[in-house]
Amino acid sequence: MEDFNSPLNASSIVNILTLRYDPSINPNLPKKTWQDFESSNEIPNISFIETQIEEEIKEKIDSLKSKKISIALSGGVDSTLALALLRKSYPDINIDAISIKFANSVDETTMASKIAEKFDANHHVVYLENYLSELPKAISQIKLPFWDLHWYYVAKKSKTFSNVLISGDGGDEIFSGYTFRYKKFLSLTHDNSTPYEKINVYLSCHERDRVPDQEFLFGKKSNFSWNSIYELLLPYFDNPLSRLEQVFLADYNGKLLYNFNPINSRIVKNFKIDVVTPLLNKKLISYGLKIPTKFKYDESKNIGKLPLRELLVKNKTDKLISKEKLGFNVNTINLWNLHGHKLCKEYLIDSRIVKDGWINNDWIQKYIDKNNLDINYVNKFMGLLAFEIWYRLFITKEINSNERLD
């Protein structure tokens, strides 16, 4: 799906609407095999991790010669650590920290504000009443049918302050941060589970991505098959790694490689911004993936990213953050009730992706007006809305990027 002058790739559409990533995208980061996740059996060297992050920051910032730096600050572990080490490396540089506040969602900007104040950063909150309003503009930049594009708003705001943006991306995949599904995965599998059983559970743990009647969503042109999904994930679960290491392998080779990193890169490139991702330097990736699970994830307390949390303690910042996985997080149900349902009715009732045989209209009609629609289905409708917008931008070319979804 890289070349938008070529015919639509059915497998790309199926993967994006099933997994929320497309492995046909050319990744910026190296793909990893199960051998890269074999544990070193050594206690992690916290000083080495800190040094790698600091050196990556210094190398990139010095080469860019910027007097002002922006940073995406969610108030979570990764962005807080990045800010702490940025300020440590550059005591006098002007830093603008950017947070997103979603309407009718959990507000983490107060916490982020305290963190920004501690490190003498100017704090800016981008308030989004309708997260979907500029979706055509965002999709026109990434040229892919995704809807969860908060990075567009971060980059847009960042551009008003600096041409350099620091990101904490990668901490979850390298240091085991997706704790909300690790516990569930372990409870529903065992050491003798078959690879296909583990794949099924892995998919069910991605509650935002999976609906039980997924196969009925697609039209004939999409050529959907669960077997193709299983075959894509099989190498991650048919190997000698432990169950959790297999999840880490699948997570790394999933949304990080083929969603978050390439999409964010396309957005900042469009805004002519240089992005610095200190947790994703090659040495740190290789080192972090081999840290034994017990030193990254505390199963009894369901807390991840232990080495990064230890660095926060060292830098006297641990009291300002939560032990839970935070990040920029919109309340999808509230977004659906306030804006999403109306927009999906507007764009999907007379849908081009239905008319052209990609999506099954019966599935849409069955659920679109259902009361108290489950979040899995809400997310699926958001994905269909993004597909429809992308289709009208690049295939039928009947809308332009300046169209607003109000």
pLDDT tens, position by position, 94-142:
999 999 998 877 777 888 999 999 999 999 999 998 999 999 999 999 9
Q: What are phi and psi of 152, to 5 degrees?
A: -60, -45
Chain-centroid distance of CA 57 in Å reads 22
| Element housing 314 (H / E) | helix 306-314
Q: What is the pLDDT of residues 50-83, one digit of tens each?
A: 999 999 999 999 999 999 999 999 989 999 999 9
Residue showing tokens 């999933």: 254
Three-state DSSP at 199 gives: helix
Determine the length of the chain: 406
- What pTM was estimated for this model as a whole? 0.94
Task: List the structure tokens of 147.
Answer: 């809807």
Q: Between β-strands 122-128 and 274-276, what pairing exists: parallel, antiparallel or unpaired?
A: unpaired
| Element housing 116 (H / E) | helix 109-118
Domain at 46-175+254-320: CATH architecture? 3-Layer(aba) Sandwich (3.40)
Q: What is the pLDDT of residues 270-304, one digit of tens each?
A: 999 999 999 999 999 999 999 999 999 999 999 99
Report the distance separating Cα 82 and Cα 97, nearest Å: 11
- Listed by start position, the domains of the chain span 46-175+254-320, 178-241
Strands (E), 55-192: 68-72, 94-102, 122-128, 164-166
Mean pLDDT of 196-220: 90
What is the model's pLDDT at position 212?
86
Rg (CA), the chain: 21
